[in-house]
Amino acid sequence: MTTTAGTVSGERIEELQQIAGEHLFMHAVQINDWRGSLKIFEKGEGVWVEDIEGNRLIDAMAGLWYKSAGYGRKEIADAMYKQLLAIDSPPAGSATVSQIELSAKVADLYPDHGARIFFVSGGSEAVETAVKMAKKYQSLNGKAGAFKVISRRYSYHGGTAMSVSLGRSPAADPMGPEMPGAVHVTNWNSYRLPYEGDPVDVAVKCANEFETVIIHNDPDTVAAMIAEPISAAYGIQVPPPEYWQRLREIADKYDVVLIADEVITGFGRTGEYFAPSNWGVQPDITTVAKALTSGYAPLGGAIATKRIADSFIGGAKETFRHLITFGGHPVAAAAGLANLEVYEREDLVGNSRRMGDYLFEKLQRLYDHQIVGDVRGGLGLLAAVELVQDRENKTAFPADAGLAKRLPKLLYDRKIVSFRAGDIISLCPPLSISSDEIDFVVDAIDDALTQLEKDLGV
Ligand SMILES: Cc1ncc(COP(=O)(O)O)c(C=O)c1O
């Protein structure tokens, strides 16, 4: 028996739970943590989603950081259907109108309008592509031995073997030896500064570690440096402008390709189409995925500035020999185009800026809770609330306080979908959110924290 939205009986729900419990891997979570109680969703509209039992909630995480245009956009579904009927995918070595038009649209929105985009299927592939492109660029431009890539600890750059090497996230499974040439530096953390001193000086010091590592490794061996403009994996860490400005200077000085991993921040999340624009910085390559289609179809890309991309024009030697069969699938490209039309028609990037300021301001009242250590954000619709046992010493709750399980439940009961809220409640709602909906989210968090404090005896 198949199931369609709105027609699910209690018996069928039980059956689905049983089947999922036996046959499904959920990504990056313990099977025992969801078996028998998996959340199943069948409807969505705007920022609201409805689970199979009829509970209506706000998705405060935009799916997994991607549902920027919100749920239920008929024009995006129509564009995909139209493309499917016309031609779902072209013969080898050719393109569809949707792919060509989306490349033009992305270049138009990107600060360097001469940019060229290599389409892939998602964020990890975008990172793989950017790194390969950077290495080949270097070999074509006199640094044939440059294979090293510098990244930051506690980042997230994807789930494939190479991107895991770059991310060095403690959340990733140990994989044995990393990619040869993966070198790591200290990450920026505004709440727990990695060094003592004025935050701007500390940020510059963190950026300077890239330079130290380049010098120690011999600049001729370093191909690229990569960072998320705002690290979501590390708890929404917004650096001061000087950080990325310094990264740009260092990349220029040593001829190292600067890659901005904008898989989360790209397409409006920070109140600009691309986050480094907030700081007047142009990276050499930008990786994008999630919000490019608002998750209506899997699509990613590595956007190269004209300077980088032009190196690949020539003969056999200059050819970028990189191929992902379904990269830039025409139906996904049609979704991307329709998605970006929604962006422009509804000024979603402007709304991200305006509602981001509103959200950040409203979140400040959560400091009334003793367990709120830090409220971060202030750059578009991306924010975090970090909970601590002891505010003065910024001491984290011990694992046996059970926040990782308690908090998502408290929020869900108050009609908020969060993503693994534990010590850190991340907020990344659709860019179409209204001020009333933000009030709903903040009230729900406020109430959940009141209950949590009661439960913990704070
Ligand atoms: C900054 C960043 N890079 C890369 C990725 C990997 O993207 P994907 O899961 O689409 O492969 C993610 C995923 O969340 C990400 O946050």
Q: Which of 264, 265, 426 to mutate to test the pocket of ligand 1 (most atoms within 8 A of CB)?
A: 264
> What does the pLDDT read at residue 173?
77
* pLDDT at residue 74, rounded to an integer: 98
CATH of domain 74-346: 3.40.640.10
- What backbone torsions phi and psi does residue 190 show, to the nearest 5 degrees? -75, -25
Mean pLDDT by 10 residues, the chain (458 residues): 62 96 94 95 97 96 98 98 97 97 98 98 98 98 96 95 88 81 97 97 98 98 98 96 98 98 98 98 98 98 98 98 97 98 98 98 98 97 97 95 94 93 93 98 98 96
Residue 332: which H helix or E strand, with range? Answer: helix 330-346
CA of 156 to the centre of ligand 1 (A): 7
Query: By alpha-carbon position, which residue is closest to atom 8 of ligand 1?
Result: 123
Strand partners, 301: 119, 288
**Can you give the pLDDT at residue 210?**
98
pLDDT at 7: 66
**How far is the centre of ligand 1, averaged over its atoms, from the C-alpha of 390 (Å)?**
32
Ligand 1 centre distance from Cα of residue 264 (Å): 7
What is the structure's pLDDT at 214?
98
User: What pLDDT does 3 receive?
Assistant: 47
The pLDDT score that the predictor gives to residue 105 is 98
Contact by Cβ (8 Å): 331, 83: yes
Kindly give the number of the ligand 1 atom that is closest to the alpha carbon of 64. 14
List the domain boundaries for the chain: 39-60+348-456, 74-346
Pocket mutation for ligand 1, best pick of 131, 157, 428 (most atoms within 8 Å of C-beta): 157
- The verdict on pTM exceeding 0.85 is yes
CA distance 117 to 208: 30
Question: The domain 39-60+348-456: what is its CATH number?
Answer: 3.90.1150.10
- Say whether 74-346 and 39-60+348-456 share the same fold: no
> Given the DSSP bridges, would you call strands 257-261 and 285-288 parallel, antiparallel or unpaired?
parallel
Nearest-CA residue for ligand 1 atom 13 is 158
Q: Give the atom of ligand 1 at the shortest distance from the alpha carbon of 233.
A: 16
Q: Return the pLDDT at 6.
A: 57
Ligand 1 lining (C-beta closer than 6 Å): 122-124, 127, 156-159, 228, 232, 261, 263-264, 289
